[in-house]
Amino acid sequence: MTLNCKGTLINLATPKVMGILNITPDSFYDGGNLTNERLILAQAEKMLEEGATFLDIGGYSSRPGAEDISETEELNRVIPAIEVILKQFPKALISIDTFRSEVAKKSVEAGAVMVNDISAGKLDSNMMKTVAQLKIPYVMMHMKGNPKTMVSLSEYKNVTKEILFYFSEKLAEARTLGMNDVIVDPGFGFAKTRHHNFELLNHLELFKSLEVPLLVGISRKSMIYKTLQTTPEEALNGTTALHSIALLKGASILRVHDVKEAIECVTLLENFKN
């Protein structure tokens, strides 16, 4: 499988790593860390040097119960970050983490090459149409409700089957719109209990039936640190353990806070498979 990122072809035969750059004051692990250009550039440089293929920039916190912010505020956070990174690292492949079509459009105009949407178009009816017109890869994630309401919506008869059905419908919609490169993300932690998250991970190989790349975002999440009765800050070892399982079960992209450790995981697993 390959992704066409504005003319740069990315081969997913070897899984890739996406580094998280949260330009937010309140994200669950790194909120408030990247408050100026110098800090943003330093983190971008570190992640690129450690081997990240993509940098995922987000200006809207999607942690459970997160406060809503205006589109203007989101744009004011992400556009300068995209511009300053590309000025320093012109070959960087930037993904914009947003559910708003206007933020996606303006970010791509500023140089982003991928859209990562936690709502798969459900929170903005123009999103999928906009991405189809932009002709760039689109990550569609499964979530119920929105970040403020999702905790109360974690009820399923069979979480894996329901999410597979959800994606089969969404992928059909994407194909109707003429979208070429679509990536699915089961949405670990979004309207799902810890039990649901582990059930999903256990059956992750079933997502291969969708015949599109699979992105996994479990880095330092509560399914790890609550299970281990620790904190996000102490959840790196647990993250690496679950990354290994995700890769064995078919993950194409790992979305992570810690690029070096994720790259090591990919390298070891590729050698293990060979």
Q: Is 25 helix (H, G, I), strand (E, B) or coil?
A: coil
Tokens describing residue 257: 């806070």
Q: Which of 106, 126, 131, 129 is nearest to 116 (CA)?
A: 131
Is 46 considered catalytic here?
Answer: no
Instruction: Respond yes or no: is residue 255 known to be catalytic.
Output: yes
Positive or negative: CA dihedral 91, 116, 7, 268:
positive
129, 255, 260, 273: which one is catalytic? 255
**Dmax of the chain from CA atoms?**
49
Q: Decide if 119 contacts 145 (C-beta within 8 A).
A: no
- Going by C-beta distance under 8 Å and a sequence separation of 6 or more, which residues neighbour residue 203? 160
- Catalytic residue, from 38, 63, 221, 249: name it: 221
CA angle 9, 212, 155 (to 5 degrees): 135
Spatial separation of the C-alpha atoms in residues 261 and 257, rounded to whole Å: 9
Q: Supply the residues annotated as catalytic.
A: 221, 255
